[in-house]
Structure 1
Amino acid sequence: MEMCNEDKSNDDTQELSLRDKFSKLFNELEHCEKEEQKQKIEETNRLMEEMDKEEFKSFIGYWKEMKCVWSLHFGETSLSKSLKKTIIDEEKRREGKNEKLLVELCECYLFLINTISAELMPICIPCLIKVALKKEESEEAQNEVETALMVMSSAGYWEFMEQELYLNEIKEIIQYHQEYHNLKRLAYQSAWQFLINRLFNDNNLEGMIVNELCFVREAARELDELLCCVDWKREIEREEVIALMRWFQTLALYFEFCHLWNEGYAELISIIVKAFRASRDDHREISKQCIHLLRKAAEIEVIKINDLLKGGAVDLIFEEILQSTSNGEILCDCLNFYLMISRKLKRMEDFKTYEPKRKLIKKEIFEKMEKEGYEDIIISLHETFNYLSKEYFIHLPINISDYFVNV
């Protein structure tokens, strides 16, 4: 099990809190023999009883997502096998089946493991979908819905899942929220993340996601509203960072797996640009993700150069290249962005019907280049290309002509 972004005390001699003791014990579960594992489970149970409500909430449902905790080998442990057997046995029970227990078992299992077996998928997914369909307005019901959707969204995108297990229901959940706004922000994002994950194995979902559910429009709106809620002058809350990063993760998968153009791309690009400008000075991890997203947007064929121009991405990337303080990874993404633009222009040469449009786009970009001395900047960076490529595992061609100079 790996852990990151945990709060650490500056005083190493300070006694561990209940939460930290719990983390330490849980972190050790998959690295011990069966008897020792049993003892540690008993100890974690004792600590859980001592925790107050707020401490306990740190580990139920939100622990994996909010504290960036994940398990690399949990599926190989005896605890995992025991939990899996308990889920299957509870599902097979004909009399006295405890539905609430089954839900909690499924949530616990999926929060701790990043893959779901074919054997458990037809048990866990319908079980969680049923919870996620709840439309009660009580805080308890909302929390149950949010947790179920978060668990589902943690299922890896590489797993094939029969549409019969989820499609009509997840579509209903998204459309109901679009009309009545009944979900919490993180729950709505989780519903989309679960659905976009399915694109990896099922491109038949593209039409519904793009045209019926209007993902691009919804993602742009949600991101914009989230950005407006953030007070960028202070250290933003961990929950706000997680929400932004989860949307960026979902968008990255969407850009990679969806191949249908959407008229809302320019607006979405403009929101990503807005997020970068807001976070550039004080929240570098967020700004790095924004630039990485813009690079991915430039890579895919379906997003046109005009979408990037109208969204302000071309201007932003150019400004960042000129910054002497640019992070090396960000600089690589910026250079690759322009490389992708140049290749898009070259591909347009193959279609005579595109030539008038190509000339206009080329003229607009060249004017930006000449105004700011872009060609000189690229040439000045030429000697660092090899270093940047090796340092950040990104191929940057040495040929300057690939960066517009002779396009």
Structure 2
Amino acid sequence: MSLPDDDNPEDNKSEENNSEDDCSEDEIPTTARTEQFSKLFCELEGRREDEQKQKIEEMNEIVDEMDEEEFESIFAKDLYNKMSKMIEEKTLSWGNTILLLKHVGYCNELKCLSCYDFDYTLLSERMKEMIIDENEKKKEEKNEKFLTDLCECYALLIYQFSCELLSIIVPCLLKAASKKEGNEETQKEVKMALLALSNIKQWDLLEKELYLNGITEVIKYHQDNQNLTRLAYQSAWRFLIKRFYNDESLEDIIVNDLHFAREARRELEDLSKSVNWKRKEERRKETEEALVIRRWLPEIKKYIYLCTLWNEECSGLIRSICQVFHASRDIYPDISHACIISLGIAAEKRDVEIDVLQKNGVIDVFLEKMNQSTFDYKMITDCLYFFSKISERLNEKEDEEKEEAKRKELKRKIFEKMEEEGYEDIIVGFHKVFDFLRRQYYYKLSLDFSDYFVNF
């Protein structure tokens, strides 16, 4: 998958605003929220620790309301460097720094924002040194709570992990995530630890000995005792599925032991019941349930792409993806499009039978989307690719007579459904843009529109 662009807000700043000590509101694109946040931040200096804490709690409330553009403009390198200098000058305590950073990291990760300015800042280097120093202390001298807080903040905000830090952070966070007390405070601690773990990228390679027993225990214990919040449980799976991307040997554990497809299906269905799909609202005001659904879908996509041990549980997952698509299509286009991507991958995989897609409503989803995608060229491309794969697979004759009869019957059902929805007219209407779509979105897209038909 391609990485988000690492835009640097500093590139557009004027020279008079480059000083780290300058708290001028002109440093960032101003809105009522960014102005208020900057004002409160500048007021931290010269305050007692308890007064600073109160102001940071106010700042955290403002962060909750920020949209992505506001978030990126505020949490840029200058702010983190300023915080590092304040820590060095002892005008900002580590406790209050952690209170702010942990909330910033929580919002950054939960809302799937693309804010990477923490890397290569003075604060990230300072935190890295603190983590290493604290970890190297003798057991009786080590402050486990402080080390866990540092690891959570660092893991939630950093983009590129070093091997040295991973060997400290992963065991520390897994230990915090393994707490089994059911009280609200422990649940909050476990959720933050798992959320931080979930930010470790799939290309950050980890030895199984470092994480597998720990994360497996967390997932299994929840399946038996329901001790995690929905966000915490999703985060545990997100961490593990990212490891699956580089380690195929995890497949049996993920499919047959931990039952990812069954669990993801149930979570999608339960979360969907908690979302008001009819209410139009800005992204920053979304409920946590809608945000957690959005976080499940990329891991489901990876699972469908990687999984070869296809079973009935996987079929149920396909059905739940279709349900989320239908629920989200009018209000949350990014969620519905993520569903389309996962279902398109399923159509391409030989492990997924075409009749499973047909029975669970996948054909209906793409036909419906074709009828609505007149101006969404990316969506049209995804739909055309889907139908080209369906056509290709259905046109492959089977060796066994029984399977061949099954294939012909399935072709007939899909052909009749396409005819009922006016599919041929839709394809002919799009034919004139095939070359554009091929050049702009997918170079393997066929220019022969007959490749998108299921002929019977």
Q: 1:131 aligns with which of 176, 182, 203?
A: 176
Do 2:215 and 2:236's aligned partners in 1 also have CA atoms closer than 8 Å? yes
Q: Counterparts of 2:80 and 2:228 in 1: how far apart (Å)?
A: 38
Q: Counterparts of 1:43 and 1:230 in 2: how far apart (Å)?
A: 46
Tell me what 1:220 maps to.
265
Q: Counterparts of 1:335 and 1:188 in 2: how far apart (Å)?
A: 35
Tell me what 2:12 maps to.
none
| TM-score, L = length of structure 2 | 0.78
Matched, 1:233 2:282: no
Matched, 1:110 2:173: no
Unpaired runs of 5+ residues, structure 2, are 1-5, 10-28, 41-58, 64-69
Tell me what 1:88 maps to.
132
Residue identity opposite 2:335 in structure 1: I
Q: Counterparts of 1:87 and 1:11 in 2: how far apart (Å)?
A: 36
Stretch of structure 1 that moved more, 230-239 or 311-320: 230-239
Q: Counterparts of 2:116 and 2:223 in 1: how far apart (Å)?
A: 36
Do 2:148 and 2:173's aligned partners in 1 also have CA atoms closer than 8 Å? yes
Stretch of structure 1 that moved more, 260-269 or 128-137: 260-269
Deviations 1:96-153 (A, max 9, x none): 1111111111111111113322212221111111111101111111000001001111
Q: Counterparts of 2:316 and 2:164 in 1: how far apart (Å)?
A: 42
Matched, 1:329 2:378: yes
Do 1:71 and 1:113's aligned partners in 2 also have CA atoms closer than 8 Å? no
Give % identity.
44
Tell me what 1:119 maps to.
164
Q: Counterparts of 2:349 and 2:153 in 1: how far apart (Å)?
A: 37
Closer, same or farther in 2 for the Cα pair 1:341/1:12, shift >3 Å?
A: same
Do 2:131 and 2:150's aligned partners in 1 also have CA atoms closer than 8 Å? yes
Q: Counterparts of 2:346 and 2:79 in 1: how far apart (Å)?
A: 39
Q: Counterparts of 1:11 and 1:394 in 2: how far apart (Å)?
A: 45
Q: 1:274 aligns with which of 290, 299, 323?
A: 323
Matched, 1:77 2:77: no
Do 2:77 and 2:121's aligned partners in 1 also have CA atoms closer than 8 Å? no
Q: Within 5 Å, which residues of 2 pair with 1:290-301?
A: 290-301=339-350
Tell me what 2:107 maps to.
63
Q: Counterparts of 1:159 and 1:279 in 2: how far apart (Å)?
A: 33
Do 2:118 and 2:124's aligned partners in 1 also have CA atoms closer than 8 Å? yes
Tell me what 2:254 maps to.
209
Do 2:151 and 2:169's aligned partners in 1 also have CA atoms closer than 8 Å? yes
Tell me what 2:404 maps to.
355
Tell me what 1:369 maps to.
418
Secondary structure of 1:137's match? Answer: coil
Tell me what 1:397 maps to.
446
| TM-score, L = length of structure 1 | 0.87
Matched, 1:342 2:391: yes
Q: Within 5 Å, which residues of 2 pair with 1:15-34?
A: 15-16=36-37, 18=40, 19=59, 26-29=75-78
Q: Counterparts of 1:157 and 1:180 in 2: how far apart (Å)?
A: 29
Q: 1:159 aligns with which of 189, 192, 204?
A: 204
Residue identity opposite 2:132 in structure 1: I
Residue identity opposite 2:292 in structure 1: A
Unpaired runs of 5+ residues, structure 1, are none
Do 2:322 and 2:339's aligned partners in 1 also have CA atoms closer than 8 Å? yes
Secondary structure of 2:149's match? Answer: helix
Q: 2:353 aligns with which of 289, 304, 310?
A: 304
Do 2:170 and 2:210's aligned partners in 1 also have CA atoms closer than 8 Å? yes
What's the CA shift for 1:63? Answer: 2.5
What's the CA shift for 1:372? Answer: 2.7
Closer, same or farther in 2 for the Cα pair 1:328/1:169, shift >3 Å?
A: same
Do 1:106 and 1:124's aligned partners in 2 also have CA atoms closer than 8 Å? yes
User: Number of residues paired by the alignment?
Assistant: 398
Q: Counterparts of 2:352 and 2:438 in 1: how far apart (Å)?
A: 25
Alpha-carbon RMSD: 3.3
Residue identity opposite 1:186 in structure 2: L
What's the CA shift for 1:392? Answer: 3.6
Secondary structure of 1:273's match? Answer: helix
Q: Counterparts of 1:323 and 1:26 in 2: how far apart (Å)?
A: 38
Q: Counterparts of 2:156 and 2:292 in 1: how far apart (Å)?
A: 17
Stretch of structure 1 that moved more, 70-79 or 179-188: 70-79
Q: Counterparts of 2:426 and 2:34 in 1: how far apart (Å)?
A: 51
